Amino acid sequence: MPETLGPLGIFGGTFDPVHLGHLRLAEEAREALGLATVRWIPAGQPPHRNSPKISGAHRLAMVQAAVADNPAFQVDGAEVSSTAPSYTIHTLERLRQEVGPQRPLILLLGADAFAGLATWYRWQDLLKLAQLAILHRPGHPLDEKALAPELNALLKAHRAHDAPVLASAPAGKILSLPMTQLDISATHIRELLASGRSPRYLLPPAVLDYIQQHQLYRNP
Ligand code: ATP
Kindly report, residue by residue over 136-154, the tens digit of the pLDDT: 999 998 888 889 999 999 9
- The ligand 1 atom at the shortest distance from the C-alpha of residue 14 is 10
Instruction: Please tell me the predicted confidence (pLDDT) of residue 157.
Output: 96
> Quick one: average pLDDT of 161-178?
96
* Mean pLDDT confidence for 16-23: 98
Share of the chain above pLDDT 90, in %: 87
Res 46 pLDDT > 60: yes
Nearest atom in ligand 1 to 187's CA: 2
- 186 CB within 6 A, ligand 1: yes
Q: 106 forms bridges with which residues in the sheet? A: 9, 131
Q: Which CA distances in Å does 70 have to 9, 66, 209?
A: 14, 9, 18
Q: In ligand 1, which atom is closest to the CA atom of 138? A: 28
pTM (two decimals): 0.95
CB 12 within 8 A of CB 132: no
Cα 15 to middle of ligand 1, angstroms = 8
Q: Is the pLDDT of residue 91 over 80?
A: yes
Taken in order of first residue, the domains within the chain and their CATH numbers are 3-183 (3.40.50.620)
Q: Is the CB of 190 under 6 A from ligand 1?
A: no
Nearest residue CA, atom 24 of ligand 1? 21
Task: Give pLDDT, residue 9.
Answer: 98
Q: Which of 3-12, 78-87, 102-111 has the highest mean pLDDT?
A: 102-111
Is 135 a pocket residue for ligand 1 (Cβ < 6 Å)?
yes
Q: How many angstroms does the Cα of residue 110 sit away from the middle of ligand 1?
A: 6
- The average pLDDT across 149-162 equals 95
Sheet hosting strand 105-110, strand order edge to edge: 73-75, 37-42, 8-13, 105-110, 131-135, 174-177
Q: Is the pLDDT of residue 135 over 60?
A: yes
Residues 13 and 40: their CA atoms lie apart, in Å, by 8
1 Cα to the center of ligand 1, angstroms: 30
Q: d(Cα 128, Cα 171) in Å, to the nearest integer?
A: 6
What's the burial of 78, exposed, middle or buried (CB within 10 Å: 0-12/13-18/19+)? middle
How far does residue 185's CA lie from ligand 1's centre (Å)?
6
User: Which atom, in ligand 1's list, is nearest to the CA of 15?
Assistant: 10
